[in-house]
Structure 1
C-alpha cells in the first residue's frame, strides 16, 4: 500500500519497538553489538559506524520521503556532499555548479576538492544553453540547487537531468530549501538528492546533520561504501532528533509558506525594498518552473534594499522577533546578511552575493507579529 507524504513522515522506518511496544523508536546509543557467534549479526549490526538502528530508521524515512531506493545520514550537510562527491568523481573530473551556490558547497568544491584534482565551473543553471555550453567531456556531476541559497534562483530539474544524462554525468540536487514536502527531485530525473537536515528536516535548530538519497542500487553501493570508509555518520541522538522533527515537516512547511507569502505581499511595495526575491511571485523569472515542480514556494525570502550595505546592516540589527543568526529552516524566524555571514566564503569570487541583500528564514510564529517586526526595522 502506498501512503501520502504526511503519513510516511510519521511511520516510514518507525514501527513500534517489537520488544516493548514503544510507539517512538528507541534511541540506541551502543557503539557495538553482540554477535551470536563469529559473523552472527542480530539485525545486521556489528559496529555503530557501519550501522545503528536509530540511524537506520532515519535513513529509511529519508528514502521514503524523497521516493528513493536508499538514504544515508551524515554528521552535517557538507559531510554528505563531500562523501557523495568523492564517491562519484576521480582526479581530473569536472563539476558544474550554480552561479549562486551555497558558500559552503563552493568552498568544499573550490577550496578542498580542487586539491584532489577536481575542477569546477559556475554557470546560471536557469540558462539551459549556457549549461550545455559549459559541459565538458570530463564533467562527472551537474550540481544543482533550486531554490538557490541565497538568491532564490530556480532551475528546471527535469531539463537539467536530460542535459546531464546526455553528457554521461549525474544530476545532484540540493533540496534543502524546498524539503521533500515541497519538491521531489528524484521523480524529476535527478540521480541523487542532498540535504542539510539541520534545516527544515530537523526544523528546531537543535541538531546538525546531512543526508543523501539515491534511486540507483549501484550508486547506493558506492555511497554506502564511502560512508562507512570515511565515517562522517550521523550519531544516534542526532538521528533521533531529526526523526522527531520530520514528523511535523508537512505541517511546518505549509505554515512557513503561508507566512512567507504574506510577508512578501507586504514588503513588495515597501519604499525601502528594491527587490523581493521569492519564487512564488509571478514576477520572479523562475516562477513558472517553480510552480511546475514545487508544491508550494517555501519559507525563504531574499530582500535587496535601497541604501546598499549600510542600510542592510542596520535592518538586520533592528529586528526583534527575527533573530540575527546563520542557518535557516527552524520554527523561529531568522535574519542575516549573506555577504558578511553565510556567504563570506565566496567574497571576491564569481559567486559573490550583492551587499544590499538580506535573507529571511520565515518561521511559524504569528505572521502579523513578524510583519510588524520587519516594518519597524525597515522604518
Structure 2
C-alpha cells in the first residue's frame, strides 16, 4: 500500500462487520445507488430520513421517510449514510452536525455506470501511476488533497473531506493571475456561471470569450446571460467538447450533469444527438490564455482535442487550465499524466472545493 493511504479497508467492508443498524439520510438517485451497493454487500437498511422540508409521509424503498430532526433526536446507536450530494453551506452544516451526534459516513459511489471505484485492489493496480502523480504535484497542499481524496473514497469519512476543502475563489486568485486582454475558453459553460466567474476575476476586461455548452436548455440560459449582461466579443456555441468534431448522444434533462457518458442509477433520462467540436478546431490560430474544462466525464477527450493550443504565447506563458478531476476515480491520476504527456512544462496543483461527496476536485495547471 502507498505510504500516504492510511485506510486499509472500504466502508462497505466495515459495514459488514460492525453490527449496528444502518440508516440513510437522503432519497433519490443517490440513495438508489447506496441501497443497491448495500444489497450487494449483504447489509440491510433500517430506515430512511430526509430534510424536514421534504418529508411528506412519502414511501421510499418500502420505508416511510422520516425527518432529519427525528434522526438528530434518535437515541438508538445507528450508523448514518449520507445518500445525496450537496455544496450548499446549510446542507453541509447538517451533514457535519449529524456526524457530531451519530457515526456518519458519505459513501463513495460511481458517477457513471461500469466505472471502477477506489478499493485496496484499485490502489494496488494503479500504485505506480498514483505515486508518480503524488510526487510530481506542485505543492504540499496538492499532495495532502490527493491523499485525503483517496482515503475518503475508501472510508467514506467526512473528516478527510473537511481537512482538504478550500474555497474555489481563493484558489483561483492565489494560483492564477489574470490580465486585461485574455482569451478565455469555457468548455461546459452551463448557464454562464463560470463566464461570470471569469469576468469577476479579470475585472470585466478581456479580449475574447468562447463558451461551449451542448445541452439545449442550458444553452438558452447561457445566451440569455450573455444578452442580459451586454457582453461583447463572446462566441457561444451549442456544442459539446470532444477530441474531434462530430455528433454524439447527449444524456441529460438540462442542469449541470448532462453528459456523453452513461450516468449510473438514473431511471429516466432523455437522450439527443448534438454537435461536438474540439477546442483546437474552434480556436484555429488564436491563442487561449485560460481554459476551463468541466465536461461531465469527458475531460480526457476534451484535453486531447486542445493539444495544439497547450503551447506558450509570445511571452513564453502557457494557458492557465482549470480541469474537473472527479467524474471518474481514475481522473485524479489519469488527467495529470495526460496533461504532462501533452505539455511537460505544466505545474499541476490539486484542490478540493466544498461538496459532499468528493465532487469538485479540480486541477489547476500553469
TM-score by length of 1: 0.31
TM-score by length of 2: 0.32
